[in-house]
Amino acid sequence: MPTTEFCQSCGMPFDDAHRELIAKEADGSDSIYCTYCYKDGAFLDPNATVEDMIGMGVPHLAHKIGEKPGVRKTV
């Protein structure tokens, strides 16, 4: 079974549909973090709390999977 990688900061998936979200280190190599958390070898918001990370990441992930803002799907 293939392993799906995730941002080691916020948990954003790096599957085939989301590979473009892998941030780069200062030397240009792939990071273990996503572009929403990290850029050129540094965190975008080094003082972010877990709640901040959730608030930042959920809308981006929802958009990536096709959710519309403010629209909840019911089961």
* pLDDT, one tens digit for every residue, the chain (75 residues): 455 688 888 888 888 878 888 999 999 999 999 998 899 999 999 998 888 877 877 777 777 777 776 655 555
Nearby residues of 6 by Cβ (< 8 Å), 6 or more positions away? 12, 13, 14
Alpha-helical segments (H) within 14-66 = 50-64
For residues 6 and 36, is the Cβ–Cβ distance under 8 A?
no
pLDDT of 38 reads: 92
Whole-structure pTM value = 0.66
pLDDT of residue 55: 80
Supply the pLDDT for residue 67: 73
pLDDT given at position 71? 56
